[in-house]
A and B are shown apart, each in its own frame.
Chain A
Amino acid sequence: MTNSETATANAEPDEIRPPSPLLKNITIALENAGRLANLFFQTVYLCFQRPFRVRLTIEQMIHIGVMSIPIALLTATFTGMVLVLQTGVQLKPLGMKIYASGISAISFAREIGPVLTSVVLAGRVAAGIAAEIGTMKVTEQIDALKTLGTNPISYLVVPRFIASTLMFPALAILAIAVGIAGGFIVGVTLLQITPGLYITNIWKFLKLSDYLGGLFKTIFFGMIVAIVGCYKGLEAGFGAQGVGKATTQAVVLSSILILVANFFLTSWIIQLFP
């Protein structure tokens, strides 16, 4: 018998080793991604099934959309002002500060308006949804829905999903308009660009496709925020700690997914509208 054969003969039978922490984390991440995708597809399917919960959807549109107007507009106004100021200061030594309006308008309509508004709203909306549904879970209200014959996805997730998908673009329209208006104030007062020239340059630079491309992305951002918020709420652990953790995770995950999705959506939109 050779040495290697002896070693093989003496070897212990294969033991089941516990998975490494890295492998365990990857497995958990994949499981979560699978469950999140499952919730998304079930939700989309149930959007087209009876009963159509119009009253609940309108309530959520008010909660997600109308109640978010102040935070969305405040963020957009000051970001628009800073954007024009920074652009104007950089272009001034080149004698091109008059183009600050057009350049800023394009970046606001294409990227900053939709993405920033969505990330700011993710904080408010995803946290609110996760906290509400998470509390319902730990107080057995989700179980109560099931025992009363109601599908929790149809009752809780679908209205929030539809409301968020419709209200994110609506808020982005307002945010882009207000952001450009904020930039106008800074351009005219601090950069001393004449109002007529400022507006003319916006018209010259900004195309409808810039505006529509940005708004198109917010439809997906709205879906992401609603689904992640609902998913984290439905998966919340026990007690106040479980709800708190779910809320934090909902905000972090939805913000990251918005930024990742933004890259892929932008790459696609640039191909469609170069």
Chain B
Amino acid sequence: MIRMENVHKQLGGKQILRGASLSIDRGETRVIMGRSGEGKSVLIKHICGLFQPEKGAVIVEGEEITRYSERELLPVREKIGYLFQNAALFDSLSVLENVGFPLYEEGTLTNNEIQERVHSVLGLVKLKDVEHKMPSELSGGMRKRVGLARAIIRQPKIILYDEPTTGLDPVTSDAINDLIISLAEELKVTSVMITHDMVSAFKVATKISMLFEGKMIYTDTTENTRNTDHPIIDQFINGKAEGPLTEI
């Protein structure tokens, strides 16, 4: 479903990815963890073509998109929903216009039909009566939910989550986790989530991978990861200051 093979990427003169490989099956919820600045966001931005690798290949739904132009990426991006770290809502548009944005842009539905769809997806993310609010009037948790509603309005097959619980209190984080699980179950989507939040990772993931020094050094099921004796993974998931991660 999603495959990345030996992906290399340099940004601002710094080598971020040094041969990262990844394979995610349909319907899976994969959590990618790694230290700050390791390139996790850069990695998932390759999946929707926001970045193109210097070397390696990116395959989404059987299509190699590595060298696709912006025009060729359009149908690929229709299949992908992306929840950005800070939701990336358009400041000048209301919640209704933000969530319905891709539908307004397509221009195939009437305004009433779009409003109904927006109302329906806002219901899925447990939001009510916010259609006419501006992003600046929303709390952090509500912004993430609106961002999630916008990501799923085109009924994507893949959803990419970039640190969906960062900056939220534990209760709101857990509500977002529940949403991610219910969306995976109800919409049967494949999910890829970046997070540092281990509670969240263990709750939503079916498999967990670790990006380290530009490579994917570990992938295993959630249960095996919980009991792993891999020194790097053990240090990361248990948040230990001493260990191989800090010795390098």
**Beta-carbon contact of B77 and A147 below 8 Å:** yes
**Of residues A136, A139, A140, A147, which shows the largest number of chain B Cβ atoms within 10 Å of its Cβ?**
A147
A148 within 8 A of B: yes
Q: Which A residues touch B48, using CB under 8 A?
A: 146-147
Sample (26) of A-B pairs whose CB atoms are under 8 Å apart = A51-B105, A136-B90, A136-B91, A139-B88, A140-B86, A140-B88, A141-B89, A141-B91, A143-B82, A144-B84, A144-B90, A146-B49, A146-B70, A147-B50, A147-B81, A147-B82, A148-B101, A148-B102, A148-B105, A149-B74, A149-B77, A149-B105, A149-B106, A150-B101, A150-B102, A151-B70
Q: Hey, what's the 0/1 contact readout for A110-126 against B, CB within 8 Å counting as 1?
A: 00000000000000000
CA distance A143 to B147 in the complex (A): 13
**Beta-carbon contact of A141 and B107 below 8 Å:** no
Q: Which B94-147 residues have a C-beta within 8 angstroms of A? A: 101-102, 105-107
Q: Which B145-163 residues have a C-beta within 8 angstroms of A? A: 150
| Smallest Cβ-Cβ distance to A151: which chain B residue | B70
Q: Which B residues touch A150, using CB under 8 A?
A: 101-102, 105
A-B residue pairs, 7 tightest by C-beta: A144-B88, A140-B88, A147-B82, A148-B102, A140-B84, A141-B88, A150-B105
| Smallest Cβ-Cβ distance to B98: which chain A residue | A144
- Tell me which of B50, B78, B88 contacts A149 (CB under 8 A): B78
**Of residues A51, A136, A140, A144, which shows the largest number of chain B Cβ atoms within 10 Å of its Cβ?**
A144
Q: Which A residues touch B82, using CB under 8 A?
A: 143-144, 147
B192 within 8 A of A: no
CA distance A139 to B84 in the complex (A): 9
Which residues of chain A have a CB within 8 Å of any CB of chain B?
A: 51, 136, 139-141, 143-144, 146-151
B219 within 8 A of A: no
| Smallest Cβ-Cβ distance to B153: which chain A residue | A148
Q: A51-B107, A140-B84 are in contact. Are A146 and B77 (CB under 8 A)?
A: yes
Q: A140-B88, A143-B50 are in contact. Are A148 and B150 (CB under 8 A)?
A: yes
Q: A148-B105, A151-B70 are in contact. Are A143 and B77 (CB under 8 A)?
A: no
B85 within 8 A of A: yes
A-B Cβ contacts below 8 A, count: 50
**Beta-carbon contact of B50 and A146 below 8 Å:** yes
Nearest Cβ distance between residue A35 and chain B, in whole angstroms? 15
CA distance A248 to B80 in the complex (A): 36
CA distance A148 to B82 in the complex (A): 9
CA distance A143 to B51 in the complex (A): 10
B18 within 8 A of A: no
**Given A136-B90, A144-B84, A144-B90, 8 more pairs with CB closer than 8 A:** A136-B91, A139-B86, A141-B90, A144-B82, A144-B88, A146-B50, A148-B105, A150-B105
Nearest Cβ distance between residue B121 and chain A, in whole angstroms? 14
Nearest Cβ distance between residue B201 and chain A, in whole angstroms? 22
Q: Which A residues touch B80, using CB under 8 A?
A: 147
**Of residues B74, B78, B88, B106, which shows the largest number of chain A Cβ atoms within 10 Å of its Cβ?**
B88
Q: Which A residues touch B90, using CB under 8 A?
A: 136, 141, 144
Q: Which B residues touch A147, using CB under 8 A?
A: 48, 50, 77, 80-82
B45 within 8 A of A: yes
CA distance A146 to B72 in the complex (A): 12
Q: Which B27-65 residues have a C-beta within 8 angstroms of A? A: 45, 48-50
| Smallest Cβ-Cβ distance to A142: which chain B residue | B88
Q: Which B residues touch A51, using CB under 8 A?
A: 105, 107
Q: Which A residues touch B101, using CB under 8 A?
A: 148, 150
Q: Which A residues touch B86, using CB under 8 A?
A: 139-140
| Smallest Cβ-Cβ distance to B107: which chain A residue | A51
Nearest Cβ distance between residue A149 and chain B, in whole angstroms? 5
**Beta-carbon contact of B45 and A143 below 8 Å:** yes
**Beta-carbon contact of B107 and A143 below 8 Å:** no
Q: Which B residues touch A149, using CB under 8 A?
A: 74, 77-78, 102, 105-106
CA distance A9 to B82 in the complex (A): 60
| Smallest Cβ-Cβ distance to B147: which chain A residue | A144
